[in-house]
């Protein structure tokens, strides 16, 4: 693996499978009375969050602590950033403190890339603007693998291998629905799922699709009802109204009617299909409460799997394991 994880595009097929296979091994720690390993003892991980977050920040903190790393949580609110300190000066401060890894969430796309130029430690992108969120894509892929029984296997299986070979997602049909335009989760998932061999379909109103979506390795549709019977996985995205500065659809009610997943629509899915959501959810908008709480929903699993996947990322970046071993 590279020294940093800034984009899902940074991961080759072998890299991605190495992270997922490592997460499979580390997930067993959750079943132990003492959920801790000494792997990163003496290492320092800084959670540098310029945006509000619950799941991602706590997940990274739990992952680092389970590997015995020292954790420093940095929030822009109440810090020198609120007084006008630049990202570069903050980075230099962290460098002086000897941070081995910096987990950054920032409202500006590209911030993790710039940070990587200023610090010697590893930089992990925990979400930058509407750009990317690679560890969310990894935990989503990990959840899909587990639900479809594709975990494990050789990480050196070539592209085009048969379904399930090498623990990849070859041949699975994943439909991502909703606010693609403002979603960093969607972009990272498209890149990673394509790398792992899945077929990805984006379904959204034309106004909620990026201008350059034709260059993404996926197909695009506008009819959710037509896509559901052909989907193995349906990933619902939250309407990010806090990022919207224009009217992208007539009303929330109209959006929910055409692109929301309710019980009637879930009945159109194949028997083994699963429903995903990266959270936080707008219940009653993009997903009905009954669907979110159904046995086919993986929402809670995704949160739990996030700790294992982030442990794997930290271990591989800081623990000395090499992707080519």
Show which residues are catalytic: 55-56, 83, 105, 133
Edge-to-edge strand list for the sheet holding 233-236? 219-221, 199-203, 173-177, 233-236, 274-276
Distance CA 15, CA 1 (A): 6
Please answer whether residues 43 and 223 qualify as being in contact, where contact means their C-beta atoms are separated by less than 8 angstroms.
no
Could you give the C-alpha distances from 267 to 66, 259, 293, in angstroms and in order?
40, 15, 15
* 3-state SS, residue 196: coil
Tell me how crowded residue 120 is: count the other CB atoms within 10 A of its CB.
Answer: 10
**What's the rounded Cα separation, in Å, for the pair 243 and 239?**
9
């Amino acid at each position: 693996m590279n020294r940093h994880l800034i984009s899902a595009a940074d991961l080759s097929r072998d890299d991605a499978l190495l992270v997922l296979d490592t997460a499979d091994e580390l997930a067993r720690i959750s079943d132990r009375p003492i959920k801790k390993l000494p792997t990163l003892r003496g290492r320092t991980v800084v959670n540098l969050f310029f945006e509000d977050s619950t799941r991602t920040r706590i997940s990274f903190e739990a992952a680092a602590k389970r590997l015995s790393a020292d954790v420093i949580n940095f929030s822009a609110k109440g810090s020198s950033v609120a007084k006008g300190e630049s990202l570069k000066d903050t980075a230099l401060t962290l460098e002086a403190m000897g941070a081995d890894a910096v987990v950054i969430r920032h409202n500006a796309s590209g911030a993790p890339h710039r940070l990587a130029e200023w610090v010697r430690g590893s930089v992990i992108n925990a979400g930058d603007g509407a750009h990317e969120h690679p560890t969310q894509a990894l935990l989503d892929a990990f959840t899909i693998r587990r639900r479809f029984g594709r975990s494990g296997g050789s990480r050196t299986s070539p592209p085009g291998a048969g379904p399930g070979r090498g623990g990849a997602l070859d041949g699975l049909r994943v439909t991502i629905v909703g606010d693609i335009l403002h979603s960093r989760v969607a972009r990272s998932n498209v890149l990673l799922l394509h790398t792992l061999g899945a077929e990805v379909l984006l379904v959204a109103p034309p106004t909620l699709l990026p201008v350059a979506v034709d260059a993404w390795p996926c197909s695009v549709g506008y009819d959710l009802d037509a896509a559901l019977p052909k989907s193995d996985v349906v990933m619902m995205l939250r309407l990010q109204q806090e990022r919207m500065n224009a009217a992208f659809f007539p009303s929330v009610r109209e959006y929910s009617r055409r692109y929301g997943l309710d019980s009637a629509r879930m009945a159109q899915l194949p028997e083994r299909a699963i429903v995903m959501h990266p959270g936080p959810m707008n219940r009653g908008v993009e997903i009905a409460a009954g669907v979110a709480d159904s046995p086919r929903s993986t929402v809670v699993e995704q949160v739990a799997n996030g700790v294992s996947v982030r442990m794997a990322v930290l271990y591989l970046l800081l623990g000395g394991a090499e992707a080519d071993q």
